[in-house]
Amino acid sequence: MVFWEGYVSDEVMGTFAPIVVYWLYAGFYQLLPSLDKYRLHTKEEDKEKNLVPFGAVVKGVLLQQLVQAIVALFLLTTTSNTPEATVQPSIPKQVFQIIAAMLVMDTWQYFVHRYMHQNKFLYRHIHSQHHRLVVPYAIGALYNHPLEGLLLDTVGGAISFLASGMTSRTAVTFFCFAVVKTVDDHCGLWLPGNIFHLFFQNNTAYHDIHHQLQGLKYNYSQPFFPLWDMLLGTYMPFTLVKRPEGGLEARPAKD
């Protein structure tokens, strides 16, 4: 029993809930007070280094989410059983399916992401759009070239869903969690008590290293675990140091 039962289908919820969650969670970060002592970059760096205006970022994210919604709704409705035939698995099985989906998504995104850095044409014409945000912030988490958004996120999500065997109802939980994790990785803040910083080594500072010039060829893993970086030699650990003017800085700990 879930709160939306009887109001909207699991398929519709799985399509639109991640979009709503994205804007709620990213909006929460956007509306926070300055919190300068927890910022990984100064406001001046934000203005000087980022190469795309905020309005264009919002439009880019909305475009990607439109494509994702169309694909997700088609996928969930064509793979679901009739309501009478749908049997929700046990909680342990759902947890297993979500973990399996996390590993599949990580695998897909690592290799596609890494190839987009290694292929000069793809980086110059597609992936570099995401790196125009040198100083990441929450609302820009899904700011990508439309083709990258389709290939990396939409197709990756579809493969994860199909490979795990999860139901549309379980997919609501998985995709909302994936969205929250992705937004948090780009929030640019190292807040005390953040559970993602406590339980995930692949976190805000870890991904911030990748957005820095010296980290462009490292820390490709996203959004959950640094497994493939560690296995394939692209892992760059970080240290957090306090800036004299206030705030924090994520610095590579690799020579």
pLDDT for 144 equals 96
Could you give the dihedral angle defined by the CA atoms of residues 246, 214, 22 and 159, in that order, rounded to the nearest 10 degrees? -160
Compute CA distances 77 → 6, 19, 53, 101, 172, whole Å: 17, 18, 37, 19, 13
Domain-by-domain residue ranges, the chain?
A: 10-252
SS3 content of the chain, % helix, strand, coil (to 5): 65, 5, 30
254: pLDDT strictly greater than 80: no
Compute CA distances 185 → 63, 69, 70, 181, 254, whole Å: 21, 22, 25, 6, 20
pLDDT for 253 equals 85
6: pLDDT strictly greater than 90: no
Above pLDDT 90, what percent of the chain?
83
Q: In angstroms, rounded to a whole number, what is the distance separating the alpha carbons of residues 116 and 32? A: 33
Mean residue pLDDT of the chain comes to 93
175: pLDDT strictly greater than 60: yes
3: pLDDT strictly greater than 90: no
Q: What is the pLDDT of residues 209-234, one digit of tens each?
A: 999 988 999 999 999 999 999 999 99
Number of residues written out for the chain: 255
84: pLDDT strictly greater than 80: no
pLDDT for 38 equals 94
8: pLDDT strictly greater than 80: yes
Q: For residue 115, which amino acid is it?
A: Y
In what helix (H) or strand (E) does residue 197 lie, and over which residues does it extend?
helix 195-199
pLDDT for 34 equals 79
Torsions phi, psi of 118, nearest 5?
-80, -30
- Six-digit token string for 110: 């690592």
83: pLDDT strictly greater than 60: no
152: pLDDT strictly greater than 60: yes
Q: In angstroms, rounded to a whole number, what is the distance separating the alpha carbons of residues 65 and 153? A: 10
- Six-digit token string for 245: 């003017």
Q: In angstroms, rounded to a whole number, what is the distance separating the alpha carbons of residues 177 and 187? A: 15
**Residues 186-195, mean pLDDT to the nearest whole number:** 94
Binning pLDDT at 50, 70 and 90, where does residue 86 land?
A: low
Q: What is the pLDDT of residues 65-80, one digit of tens each?
A: 999 999 999 988 888 7
- Six-digit token string for 159: 């493969």
82: pLDDT strictly greater than 60: no
Bridge partner residues of 106 (DSSP): none
**Residues 118-137, mean pLDDT to the nearest whole number:** 96
pLDDT for 87 equals 82
Compute CA distances 143 → 8, 23, 191, 239, 246, whole Å: 29, 13, 23, 26, 28
Binning pLDDT at 50, 70 and 90, where does residue 1 land?
A: confident
